[in-house]
Every structure is written in C-alpha cells, then in structure tokens.
Chains A and B, each alone.
Chain A
Amino acid sequence: MKATLMTTRIRWWAALAALVLATATAFALTRPGAHSSASAASADAQLSVVGGSSTAPKVTDSTVQSEVASAVDNGTRGGATADVASARVALETSTGIKVLAVPATGQTCAVVELPGSLGQGAMHCVSNAEFNTSGAWQMVGAPPSVDVVGLVPDGVTSVKVTFVDGTSRTATVTNNAFDIQSKVASASISFTTPAGSYSGPAQSAG
C-alpha cells in the first residue's frame, strides 16, 4: 500500500516537473525577444568608421553609452548588445546633431543625438547584411525641421534625398555618415554602393 502511494507521488511530481519544463520552453520560444536572426549575425558590416584605423572620436560619455546600450537592448525583436566601446561619433553637424556609429551583435546602429534641453536621441538598427546593401538611416523631426540622417556602407560617397515638393539635395558622406536637412518631408533616398545602386522610400512624418 505504502509502495503504491509512493509510486503515485513520484509520478505526480514527475508530471508536474514535465509540465513546468514544457511551459518554460514554450514561453522562451514564443516570446517576441526570441526572434533574433542568427544568419544576420554572420555578416560583417562594411563600416570602417568603427575600425581600428578610424580617426573619428570615440563615444566616451558614460551617460550616452548607457542610453545607447539600453536603447539597443530594448528592441521590438528582443534587442541586441551594443558594443559601446567601439562606438564612434561619425559626424557632427553645424546644428549640433551628432551621428554615432554603434556596432551591436549582428547589427549596425545609427544613433542620432539631438541638440536641445530634452536630451533626446533617435536610433535605427539593421542587420549587418541589410546595412551593406541599404545602410541604416532615419528621418528625424517633422516639417519645418526634418533631418534625413544615418550611416551608409563603405564606398558610398554621396547620398541623394528627394522631398515631397519635388526638390532634392545631395550630401557628401563623411566617416560613413550623412545628414540632409529640409523644411519639408522627405520622399525617397538613393545612393550607390560598391555592390550596386540603392533607392527606396524615405517617408518622414508630415
């Protein structure tokens, strides 16, 4: 009788343990953060501004480093780990906008520090493979103050942005970075990489 009772208890505990294990496994596999791309991590970004021979200043402000690391980690797909020690200030505009090049696990992040009292930044991260064909750039602000700003792969010398009013501007690329300012919303962007031409929508908030 006692042996039967003991066997029943062992089976019950085994079943409970299996249920807990199955639930934990299902949670780990289905949560949004589980969708990281292993294949994307295998590519190296063509981003010489963060390389050893770069003369662009490193990001040394610990507050900025912390904010960037936190923002990169908090992505909609589970995030990534930013290599803030390798991050560089690729470009600083006359209006005080700083473009930071931040490598992360399998990703390249274009971080934009905006001037002003709000202490705001903006960021766009893409897989390294995507970066090598289409860059990592974003549209910050709204008319009458829009910046199309970001990073493009090695070998791109200029970037052209067309706006909703039909006008266009071209910017020279410095340290893989560019910034094009406008009073109206942007519509499209184009540039030429060593691998070919890229052209795509660049619809800013209007």
Chain B
Amino acid sequence: MTVLSKRGWAPRAALLCAMLALAGLSVGATTASAAHVNGFYCPTNPGATMSLNGGARCTSPFHTTFTGGGFEDVLTPVGVCVVLKPNSDGSGGNIGSPDCVSSGEANIFFTDPGLAGYMTGINESSNFHTGFSGVDQYYTN
C-alpha cells in the first residue's frame, strides 16, 4: 500500500511541476511582450545643465517602440521642445512633429507599437539652465 502511494505521488508531483512551469512561462512571456516602460532620460534625475538657444539637446537611449516623451526644466520656466530624432546626438530630420512650449512640459506621443529613434529634449532659451528632465515611454520588446 505504501509503495502504491509513493507511485501515485510521483506522477502527481510531475504534473504539478509541469503546470507550475507552464504558468511561469506564460507569465514571463506576457511580461516580455507587453512591458511598457516609463523612464527618465536627460538625466536619470532632474538637474541637468544645458545651454543655449536650441543648440543644446539631450537624448534618450535608442528604442524602436517609443510611444511617448516629454521634456521640461523643472526648476526654471524656460522654452523647451521635445522631438524624436534619428541620431544619438539629437541631430537629423524630425521623426514626426516637434512639440514646443514656452514654459512647463512639452509632450509628444505615438500610437502603438510606437516609433524608433532617440527621444530628444531641446533647451530653447538663450541661456544655460539647470533642472532639465525628460521622460519617455516605450515597450521593452
């Protein structure tokens, strides 16, 4: 009887393990395909110093699935723009339209699955300022 009981537990345990593994794979696959990241760029925390009149810009890492981006000087109300660019230094033709504000936060967003490029924030004032901060949204895959 004891032997039979042990034989009975082995397949049950195997089945349980298989189900747990499948559940784990399922959760992992869902997370990997749909992870929507809200991140910061330029810099990872507010406080970056940027200069001059549209020439100073900072960019996010490259992503292929940008669904949104914003840019602002959180310390000083200065003019800023945010735009998606093809080059890592924020140069090149605009991908879509830039959005500019005279103070506060400029924002752009795109429908799923998003667009590729570098989210770029631009200081439109004629002076150096601190406090610039950018946010972006993209899918991890």
Contact = CB atoms under 8 A, between A and B. Distances in A.
A is bound by B: yes
Interface of A: 32, 35, 63, 67, 70-71, 73-77, 112, 114, 118-126, 130, 138-142, 189, 200-206
- Secondary structure call for the A interface: mixed
B79 A201 contact: yes
Given A71-B109, A114-B97, 11 more contacts: A32-B40, A70-B68, A120-B97, A121-B110, A124-B105, A124-B107, A126-B104, A142-B94, A201-B79, A202-B102, A205-B124
Interface in B73-123: 74, 79, 81, 83, 94-102, 104-111, 115, 122
B96 A120 contact: yes
B13 to A, nearest CB: 36
A11 B79 CA distance: 53
B43 to A, nearest CB: 11
Given A71-B107, A205-B83, A205-B100, A76 B122 contact: no
Interface size class of B (residues with CB under 8 A): 35 or more
The 10 closest A-B pairs by CB, nearest first: A119-B111, A122-B99, A123-B107, A139-B100, A76-B72, A205-B98, A141-B97, A120-B96, A71-B109, A201-B102
B109 A67 contact: yes
B58 interface: no
Nearest to A124: B101
B26 interface: no
A120 B110 contact: yes
Given A32-B74, A75-B70, A76-B133, A203 B105 contact: no
A32 B105 contact: no
A189 B111 CA distance: 30
A105 to B, nearest CB: 15
B46 A32 contact: yes
Contacts of B102: 189, 200-203
Contacts of B124: 203, 205
15 contacts: A32-B46, A32-B74, A63-B111, A67-B111, A71-B70, A75-B70, A76-B74, A118-B111, A120-B109, A123-B108, A125-B104, A126-B104, A139-B101, A140-B97, A205-B100
A76 B54 CA distance: 20
Given A77-B74, A122-B97, A138-B100, A32 B133 contact: yes
A70 B99 contact: no
Contacts of A138: 99-101, 106
B71 to A, nearest CB: 7
B122 to A, nearest CB: 7
B135 A75 contact: yes
A142 B54 CA distance: 13
Given A77-B74, A205-B122, A140 B68 contact: no
B38 interface: yes
B133 A74 contact: no
B100 A75 contact: no
A125 B105 contact: yes
Nearest to A73: B38
A72 to B, nearest CB: 9
A202 B134 CA distance: 21
B117 to A, nearest CB: 11
